C-alpha cells in the first residue's frame, strides 16, 4: 500500500439527549508519506472529530466510530487493541492540540512530560531522555533550553507552550503529525512563527503533516493538498492551486470570498455566507449546503451529491459544479 494513511467511509457519532450527532459522515481520502494536507472548514464541520478518530481518542460513550476503516501503513487502526494503538499513538502518529494552555499538565515540568514519551516509546533512561528533551526544546526555538527543561508550564508563554507541545509531538520522530488548530490561542506574530517552524521541521524530517484550521491563509502557504469539510462531509478536495484558483464548490467559493484582501479598495465590505450549518442531529436529505447555496435547484434538496472527480485529482460534491465553475471560480 503506497498511502501512509488511507481513510475509507469514516463515520463518527455522538449519542446525546437530543439525539445522535452525526459529526463525521462517510469521508474517504489518502495521504502519502511526507505530504502536507490542509483540512479546512468552519467550526463544527468535523475537522477535529475526524482527527481524534484517527488517533482513537473519541470518548466511548458518548462517542462512537460507527463505520469505516483507517489504514496506517497497511494496518487498520480501528481493529487494534488498546496496547497496540498506544504504541502507535505518540510514536508513529503524534498530535498537537489547539490549546497550549490546557494541553500540558501543570503539576509536572515540561521536561518531565517530554521524557515520559521518550521512556515509553524509545526506551530511554531518565538521563538520556532529559538530554534529548533539551535538544528538542532547542530545536523548536526555546531559548536556554537546558535550563528551561526544568520549568513548569506556567513559566512558559503561550507561544513557548505551543513550541513545547510540538517538541513533545516530535520527540519520537513521527511519520504523521496532526496539528489541530495549533495557533488559535496565539497572537498573529507567534502564529506565523509556529507555522514557519512546522514547515521547517516537516522539510527537515520528511514527515507527513495534517494541518487542521479554519484559516485558509495558513494552508495556502504550507499545504500541498486541501480537504474542505462541511457538516461532516468532504465537499471539495484538491491541490492548493485547485482550491484557490479553480474553485468548484459554492461553499469553498464563499469561504474564499470572505477573506480580506490587500488589493481591495478601502471600505470594501467582506462577503459572508448567509444562514447557518445544518443540524447534525437531523441532517437534510439532500446536499448539506442546500439551505445556504445561491446556486441551489430542487434536485439538490432531495438528493445528496457524492464526492466525484472533476479533473485530475480535483474532487467535488456538488450536482451543479460543471455549470457554475465559470461563474463562481476566481
Identify the pLDDT of residue 328. Answer: 45
Residuewise pLDDT in 10s, the chain (330 residues)? 478 999 999 999 999 998 999 999 999 999 999 999 999 988 888 899 999 999 999 998 899 999 999 999 989 999 999 889 988 888 899 888 877 667 788 888 988 988 888 887 888 888 888 888 898 888 888 888 888 889 998 988 878 888 888 888 888 788 999 998 877 766 777 778 778 888 888 888 889 999 998 888 888 888 899 999 999 999 999 999 999 889 999 999 988 887 766 666 666 677 778 888 899 999 999 999 999 998 989 999 999 999 999 888 899 999 988 887 655 444
Beta-ladder partners of 13: 22, 64
- The confidence score (pLDDT) of residue 329 equals 44
> Buried (b) or exposed (e) across 81-93, using 16+ Cβ within 10 A?
eeeebeebbbbbb
Query: What DSSP string runs through 187-218?
Result: -HHHHHHHHHHHHHHHHHH--EEEEEES-HHH
Place of cell 492548493: 240
Residues with Cβ within 8 Å of residue 316, at least 6 apart in sequence: 235, 236, 237, 248, 249, 307, 308, 310
Strand partners, 315: 237, 309
pLDDT of residue 264: 62
Closest CA to 12 of 2, 27, 1: 27
pTM for the full model? 0.87
Residue 135 and residue 112 in contact, taking contact as beta carbons nearer than 8 Å: no
Residues in the chain: 330
Rounded Cα distance between 13 and 235, Å, is: 19
Contact 69, 7 (CB under 8 A): yes
Q: Give CA–CA dist 73/71, Å, rounded.
A: 6
Q: Which one, of 260, 247, 255, lies nearest residue 230 by Cα?
A: 255
Q: Which strands make up the sheet holding 314-316, listed edge to edge?
A: 93-96, 176-180, 208-213, 36-40, 225-230, 233-239, 314-316, 308-311
Torsion of CA 296, 300, 306, 308, to 10 degrees: -50
pLDDT at 237: 95
> In this structure, what are the phi and psi dihedrals at residue 10, rounded to the nearest 5 degrees?
-70, 125
Residue 116 has a pLDDT of 85
Amino acid at each position: 500500500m503506497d498511502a501512509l494513511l488511507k481513510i475509507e467511509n469514516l463515520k463518527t457519532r455522538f449519542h446525546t439527549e437530543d439525539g445522535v450527532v452525526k459529526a463525521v459522515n462517510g469521508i474517504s481520502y489518502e495521504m502519502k508519506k511526507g505530504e502536507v494536507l490542509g483540512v479546512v472548514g468552519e467550526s463544527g464541520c468535523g475537522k477535529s472529530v475526524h482527527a481524534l478518530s484517527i488517533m482513537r481518542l473519541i470518548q466511548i460513550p458518548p462517542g462512537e466510530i460507527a463505520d469505516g476503516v483507517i489504514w496506517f501503513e497497511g494496518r487498520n487502526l480501528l481493529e487494534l487493541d488498546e496496547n497496540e494503538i498506544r504504541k502507535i499513538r505518540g510514536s508513529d502518529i503524534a498530535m498537537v492540540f489547539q490549546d497550549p494552555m490546557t494541553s500540558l499538565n501543570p503539576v509536572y515540568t515540561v521536561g518531565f512530560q517530554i521524557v515520559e514519551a521518550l521512556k515509553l516509546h524509545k526506551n530511554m533512561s531518565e538521563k538520556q531522555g532529559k538530554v534529548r528533551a533539551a535538544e528538542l526544546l532547542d530545536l523548536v526555538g526555546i531559548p536556554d533550553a537546558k535550563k528551561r527543561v526544568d520549568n513548569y508550564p506556567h513559566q512558559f508563554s503561550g507561544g513557548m507552550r505551543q513550541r513545547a507541545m510540538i517538541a513533545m509531538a516530535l520527540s519520537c520522530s513521527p511519520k504523521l503529525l496532526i496539528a489541530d488548530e495549533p495557533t488559535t490561542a496565539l497572537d498573529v506574530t507567534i502564529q506565523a512563527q509556529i507555522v514557519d517552524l512546522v514547515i521547517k521541521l516537516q522539510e527537515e524530517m520528511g514527515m507527513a503533516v495534517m494541518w487542521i484550521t479554519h484559516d485558509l491563509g495558513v494552508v495556502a502557504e504550507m499545504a500541498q493538498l486541501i480537504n474542505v469539510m462541511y457538516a461532516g462531509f468532504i465537499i471539495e478536495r484538491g491541490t492548493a492551486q485547485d482550491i484557490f484558483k479553480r474553485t468548484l464548490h459554492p461553499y469553498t467559493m464563499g469561504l474564499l470570498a470572505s477573506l480580506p484582501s490587500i488589493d481591495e479598495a478601502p471600505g470594501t465590505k467582506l462577503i459572508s455566507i448567509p444562514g447557518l450549518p445544518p443540524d447534525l442531529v437531523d441532517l437534510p436529505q439532500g446536499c448539506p449546503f442546500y439551505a445556504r447555496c445561491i446556486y441551489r435547484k430542487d434536485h439538490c434538496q432531495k438528493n445528496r451529491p457524492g464526492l466525484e472527480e472533476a479533473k485530475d485529482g480535483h474532487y467535488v460534491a456538488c450536482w451543479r459544479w460543471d455549470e457554475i465553475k465559470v461563474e463562481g471560480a476566481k
